[in-house]
C-alpha cells in the first residue's frame, strides 16, 4: 500500500484504495473505484430532470490510471433499470468478461445487484471513456478514462501545463429511454435531441438566465492538453475555438504524428488528445468554443443545433452574463455535409510509428472480409402501424443485409460453455450475398434479414476488413467501433471499393490506429488487425439509433494453444440472465 503519486485533484474522491505490485523492478498499481449507479436531479435547458448517473455526477467521475495499471471498478445498481458499463477502447486482453456490452459479454446488472469490472490497461495511453452499454442509458451515463504514461515516462510532445477533458454529449428534455422506446414501437426515426453539451453544459440558454455554459479558464502562453471525447449518441461533430488552432497528438489512445488544424472532426465513440497553445491575449479576453454536427442525413432528421462554451483568459471570479456570451462571434465551422473536408481531414492522421511507439501493421492477412453496411427496412408486425421509410415498414440497419438480433443471454457465456446452439449461428456472410452498386440509386428491395450471426476466427488470425458504406435509404457516415481491439486504417476512399486498384495504395507503414472509424458517406474504409484476444467481440456503428436498428455483429475469437492465449473462466459475480 502506498499513497498515490498522482495529483489528488486528478484522482478525485472515488479512488479509495491504491496498491503497488512490484514486478521485475517495475511498478504497476491497482486502482479501485466504486460506481454507485443512482438517479440524480439536474437542471438543463432550464428544466429539472432526474437522470441516471455514476455517483450522482454528470458527466461521470474520472477514472485515472497509468499504462500498465490494473483497474478494479465495483458497479452497484441502485436504479430500476438494467445496467452494464463498457470501458470503451480498453483492449481487455484476456478479460473479455469485463468488456460490458449487454447480452454480448455479460447479462445486465439488474436493480439491486453489483458486478466488479477487473482489467489491466496494456500498451495504451491517452484518453478513452466509459459508458452504459444497454439501450440508450449512455445518454447520461458516461465519463472519461484518463491513461497517463507509465511512471517516469513522458509524452512524445511538450509537457502540457494542464490537462482538461472536453466531453461532447447530447441532451433530450424527454427521458432518452422513452425516446428510443417510442422509435422502436413506431419503426420511425427517434425524436431529435434538444441540444448538444460540452462537459454536460448546453451553453447560454435561449429561454432563461440559468448559468449553463462551460467555461475553460486559461493563462496566456501555455500549452493545454484537451482530452476530447464524443459521447453524443447520434452525431459526428465539428469543433472549433475562435482565433485558436490545435495540434492533434493522439486518437483513441494511440499517438499520431502531430497534426495541425483549426477544426476538429470527431465521431461518436472516438477520443483524441489535442494540444491548445494559448496566445498572449489580454486578461479577460473571451473566445467561443463551438461544436455542431457533420451529417449527410436529411434535414430535420438530426439535431442541427450548435453548442457553445467559453475560453476565458485569466479571469477571476467574475462570470460573464449570457447576453455578453451571445454577443461573441461563433467560430466558422465547415458545412454540415462537408464530406470532402472530412475525407481530407481523416486522411491527414498518421500513426507516430517510431522506434518507441511502432505501428505493428499486419503486412499480410489470412482472412479478408467485405462488409456492406447501411440502412434498410424490416416488415411491420401485422397488428401494428409503422411509420418507417416506406408504407408499413420499420427502419432497420445492418451489415451484408443482416440486421443483428440481440440474444437474450450472453454470447460470451454461450461461447465459453460451448452452448451456442439456439443462441447464435456462425454463418455471418463474409461478403454480400447479392452484390449491387452500393453507392448508386436505392435498390428496389431494401428489406434486411434478421439473425444472431457471428464470424469465428482462430486465435492470432490476421484480418483485413473492407467496410463499404451503402446509399440504401441515403448515404451516411457510420462510425464503426470494434471491441477488444485496435485496428489500423490502411485505406479509405469515395464511391465503391475496387479490389484491384485500391489495395496497392494501402498504407502499411504508418496508418492511424483506432478503435472507431468513420466509414465514409458514399465511400469505404479498409482496416487490419490481428485477432490475438480470445473472446466474443462486438462490432457496431456507434450512432446509437443505427445500433438499435441492427448495425452490429460479433467476432468470436477462439483460444490459442498456450495458457496465456485462453479466455479465463468467468468471475464468480458475473450477472446471470
Ligand atoms: C428530484 O426532484 C423531485 C421533485 O422535486 C423529488 O421528488 C425527487 O426526490 C428528487 N430526486 C432525487 C434523486 O433527488
Ligand atoms: C482482479 O483480477 C486479478 C487477476 O485475475 C485477481 O488477481 C484479483 O484478485 C482480481 N480482483 C478482484 C477485486 O476481483
Ligand atoms: C457558472 O458556472 C461556472 C461553471 O461552468 C462556474 O464556474 C461559475 O461560478 C458559475 N457562475 C455562477 C454565477 O453561478
Ligand atoms: C479573431 O478572428 C477574427 C476573425 O478571423 C478577427 O476578425 C479578429 O481580429 C481576431 N481576434 C483576435 C484577437 O485575434
Ligand atoms: C441547420 O441549421 C442552419 C441554421 O442554423 C440552417 O441554415 C441549415 O440549413 C440547417 N441544415 C440542415 C441540414 O438542417
Ligand atoms: C450540402 O448542403 C448544401 C446546403 O444545404 C447543398 O446546397 C449541397 O448540395 C449539399 N452538398 C452535398 C454534397 O450534398
Ligand atoms: C487537407 O488536409 C491537409 C492536412 O492534412 C491540409 O493542409 C489541407 O489544407 C486540406 N485541404 C483542404 C482542401 O481542406
Ligand atoms: C401484436 O401481437 C403480438 C403477438 O402476436 C403481441 O405480443 C403484441 O402485444 C401485439 N401488439 C399490439 C400493438 O397489439
Ligand atoms: C399502406 O399499406 C396499407 C396496408 O398495407 C394500405 O392499405 C395502404 O393503402 C398503403 N398506403 C400507401 C400510401 O401505399
Ligand atoms: C454506381 O452508381 C454511381 C452513382 O449513380 C455511379 O456514378 C457509378 O458509376 C456506378 N458504378 C457502377 C460500377 O455502376
Ligand atoms: C426496380 O424497379 C424499377 C421500377 O419499378 C424497375 O424499372 C427496375 O427494373 C427494378 N430493378 C430491379 C433490379 O429489379
Ligand atoms: C433485465 O435483465 C433481465 C435479464 O436479461 C431480464 O430478464 C429483465 O427483463 C430485464 N429487465 C428490464 C427492466 O429490462
Ligand atoms: Cu451508423
> pLDDT tens track of the chain, all 577 residues?
333 334 333 433 344 444 444 444 456 799 999 999 999 999 999 999 999 999 999 999 999 999 999 999 999 999 999 999 999 999 999 999 999 999 999 999 999 999 999 999 999 999 999 999 999 999 999 999 999 999 999 999 999 999 999 999 999 999 999 999 999 999 999 999 999 999 999 998 767 767 899 999 999 999 999 999 999 999 999 999 999 999 999 999 999 999 999 999 999 999 999 999 999 888 888 999 999 999 999 999 999 999 999 999 976 666 667 778 888 999 999 999 999 999 999 999 999 999 999 999 999 999 999 999 999 999 998 888 999 988 789 999 999 999 999 999 999 999 999 999 999 999 999 999 999 999 999 888 899 999 999 999 999 999 999 999 998 888 899 999 999 999 999 999 999 999 999 999 999 999 999 999 999 999 999 999 999 999 999 999 999 999 999 999 999 999 999 999 999 999 999 999 9
Q: Which ligand is nearest to the CA of 261?
A: 7
391 C-alpha to center of ligand 9: Å? 6
Q: 335: Cβ below 6 Å to ligand 7? A: no
H helices present in 128-196, as ranges: 176-186
**Beta-carbon neighbour count of residue 222 at 10 Å?**
12
432 C-alpha to center of ligand 10: Å? 17
546 C-alpha to center of ligand 9: Å? 26
Q: Which ligand is nearest to the CA of 297?
A: 5
Query: Which residue CA neighbors atom 2 of ligand 3 most closely?
Result: 211
Calpha distance 427→414 (Å, rounded): 16
- In the chain, the domains with their CATH numbers are 1-154 (2.60.40.420), 157-351 (2.60.40.420), 367-565 (2.60.40.420)
Q: Which of 203, 211, 323, 324 for mutating ligand 3's site (highest number of atoms within 8 Å of CB)?
A: 211
User: What confidence tens digit (pLDDT) does each residue in 89-122 have?
Assistant: 999 999 999 999 999 999 999 999 999 999 999 9
Instruction: Evaluate the CA torsion angle 62, 68, 69, 71 in order and state its sign.
Output: positive
Say if CB 497 and CB 469 are below 8 A apart.
no
Q: 328: Cβ below 6 Å to ligand 5? A: no
Confidence at residue 371, expressed as pLDDT on a 0 to 100 scale? 98
Query: Which residue CA neighbors atom 4 of ligand 9 most closely?
Result: 392
Q: 337: Cβ below 6 Å to ligand 6? A: yes
Calpha distance 393→413 (Å, rounded): 34
250 C-alpha to center of ligand 2: Å? 30
Query: Which residue CA neighbors atom 14 of ligand 4 most closely?
Result: 243
Say if CB 67 and CB 126 are below 8 A apart.
no
Q: 203: Cβ below 6 Å to ligand 3? A: no
Say if CB 128 and CB 271 are below 8 A apart.
yes
H helices present in 157-281, as ranges: 176-186
Q: 391: Cβ below 6 Å to ligand 9? A: yes
Calpha distance 416→410 (Å, rounded): 10
The two most distant CA atoms of the chain are separated, in Å, by: 68
Q: Which of 189, 336, 339 for mutating ligand 5's site (highest number of atoms within 8 Å of CB)?
A: 336
Q: Which atom of ligand 2 is nearest to the CA of 571?
A: 14
Q: 74: Cβ below 6 Å to ligand 2? A: no
The 10 Å CB-count burial string (b at 16+, else e) for 406-440 is ebeebbbbbbbeeebeebbeeebbeebeeeeebbe
φ, ψ of residue 327 in degrees (nearest 5): -80, -15
Q: 111: Cβ below 6 Å to ligand 10? A: no
Q: What is the DSSP letter of 63?
A: E
Q: ∠ at Cα 205 (200, 206), nearest 5°? A: 150
Q: 209: Cβ below 6 Å to ligand 3? A: no
Half-sphere exposure of 406 (CA within 13 A, CB side): 17
pTM of the model: 0.93
Rg (CA), the chain: 23
Which residues, including other chains, have CB under 8 Å from residue 424's CB and lie 6 or more apart?
Answer: 407, 411, 414, 452, 453, 454, 554
Query: Which residue CA neighbors atom 5 of ligand 10 most closely?
Result: 440
Q: Which atom of ligand 12 is nearest to the CA of 111?
A: 1
Say if CB 250 and CB 234 are below 8 A apart.
no
φ, ψ of residue 64 in degrees (nearest 5): -120, 130
Cell matching residue 488: 489500423
Place of cell 434538444: 194
Q: 72: Cβ below 6 Å to ligand 2? A: yes
Q: How far is CA 186 from CA 72, 183, 391, 408, 565, in A?
A: 41, 5, 12, 22, 45
261 C-alpha to center of ligand 3: Å? 30
Say if CB 233 and CB 194 are below 8 A apart.
no
Q: Which atom of ligand 8 is nearest to the CA of 382?
A: 1
Q: What is the DSSP letter of 193?
A: P
Calpha distance 54→58 (Å, rounded): 7
Amino acid at each position: 500500500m502506498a499513497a498515490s503519486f498522482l495529483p489528488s485533484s486528478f484522482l478525485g474522491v472515488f479512488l479509495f484504495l491504491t496498491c503497488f505490485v512490484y514486478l521485475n523492478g517495475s511498478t504497476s498499481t491497482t486502482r479501485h473505484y466504486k460506481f454507485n449507479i443512482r438517479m440524480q436531479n439536474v437542471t438543463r435547458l432550464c428544466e429539472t430532470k432526474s437522470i441516471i448517473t455514476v455517483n450522482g455526477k454528470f458527466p461521470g467521475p474520472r477514472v485515472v490510471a497509468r499504462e500498465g495499471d490494473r483497474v478494479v471498478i465495483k458497479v452497484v445498481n441502485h436504479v430500476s433499470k438494467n445496467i452494464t458499463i463498457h470501458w470503451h477502447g480498453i483492449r481487455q486482453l484476456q478479460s473479455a468478461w469485463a468488456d460490458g456490452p449487454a447480452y454480448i459479454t455479460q447479462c445486465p446488472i439488474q436493480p439491486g445487484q453489483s458486478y466488479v469490472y477487473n482489467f489491466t490497461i496494456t500498451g495504451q495511453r491517452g484518453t478513452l471513456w466509459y459508458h452504459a452499454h444497454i439501450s440508450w442509458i449512455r445518454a447520461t451515463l458516461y465519463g472519461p478514462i484518463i491513461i497517463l504514461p507509465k511512471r517516469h515516462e513522458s509524452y512524445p510532445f511538450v509537457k502540457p501545463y494542464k490537462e482538461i477533458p472536453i466531453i461532447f454529449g447530447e441532451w433530450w428534455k424527454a427521458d432518452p429511454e422513452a425516446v428510443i422506446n417510442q422509435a422502436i414501437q413506431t419503426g420511425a426515426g427517434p425524436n431529435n435531441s434538444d441540444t448538444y453539451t460540452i462537459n454536460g453544459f448546453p451553453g447560454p440558454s435561449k429561454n432563461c438566465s440559468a448559468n449553463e455554459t462551460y467555461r475553460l479558464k486559461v493563462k496566456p502562453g501555455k500549452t493545454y492538453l484537451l482530452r476530447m471525447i464524443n459521447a453524443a449518441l447520434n452525431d459526428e461533430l465539428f469543433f472549433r475555438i475562435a482565433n485558436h488552432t490545435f495540434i492533434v497528438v493522439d486518437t483513441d489512445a494511440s499517438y499520431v504524428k502531430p497534426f495541425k488544424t483549426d477544426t476538429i472532426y470527431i465521431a461518436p465513440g472516438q477520443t483524441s488528445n489535442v494540444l491548445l497553445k494559448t496566445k498572449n491575449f489580454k486578461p479577460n479576453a473571451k473566445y467561443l468554443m463551438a461544436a455542431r454536427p457533420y451529417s449527410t442525413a436529411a434535414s430535420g432528421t438530426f439535431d442541427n443545433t450548435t453548442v457553445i462554451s467559453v475560453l476565458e483568459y485569466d479571469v477571476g471570479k467574475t462570470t460573464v452574463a449570457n447576453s455578453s456570451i451571445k454577443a461573441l462571434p461563433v467560430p466558422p465551422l465547415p458545412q454540415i455535409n462537408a464530406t470532402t473536408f472530412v475525407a481530407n481531414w481523416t486522411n491527414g492522421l498518421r500513426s507516430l510509428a517510431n522506434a518507441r511507439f511502432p505501428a505493428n501493421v499486419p503486412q499480410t492477412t489470412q482472412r479478408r472480409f467485405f462488409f456492406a453496411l447501411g440502412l434498410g427496412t424490416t416488415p411491420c408486425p401485422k397488428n401494428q402501424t409503422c411509420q418507417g421509410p416506406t408504407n408499413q415498414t420499420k427502419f432497420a440497419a445492418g451489415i451484408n443485409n443482416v440486421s443483428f438480433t440481440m440474444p437474450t443471454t450472453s454470447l460470451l457465456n454461450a461461447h465459453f460453455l460451448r452452448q451456442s446452439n439456439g443462441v447464435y449461428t456462425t454463418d455471418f456472410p463474409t461478403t454480400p450475398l447479392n452484390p449491387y452498386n452500393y453507392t448508386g440509386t436505392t435498390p428496389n428491395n431494401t428489406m434486411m434479414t434478421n439473425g444472431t450471426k457471428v464470424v469465428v476466427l482462430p486465435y492470432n488470425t490476421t484480418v483485413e476488413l473492407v467496410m463499404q458504406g451503402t446509399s440504401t435509404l441515403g448515404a451516411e457516415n457510420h462510425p464503426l467501433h470494434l471491441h477488444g481491439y485496435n485496428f489500423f486504417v490502411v485505406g479509405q476512399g469515395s464511391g465503391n471499393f475496387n479490389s484491384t486498384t485500391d489495395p496497392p495504395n494501402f498504407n502499411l507503414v504508418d496508418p492511424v490506429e483506432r478503435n472507431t472509424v468513420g466509414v465514409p458517406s458514399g465511400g469505404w474504409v479498409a482496416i487490419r488487425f490481428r485477432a490475438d484476444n480470445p473472446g466474443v467481440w462486438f462490432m457496431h456503428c456507434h450512432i446509437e439509433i443505427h445500433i438499435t436498428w441492427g448495425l452490429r455483429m460479433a467476432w468470436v475469437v477462439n483460444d490459442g494453444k498456450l495458457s496465456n492465449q485462453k479466455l479465463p473462466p468467468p468471475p464468480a459475480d458475473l450477472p446471470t440472465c
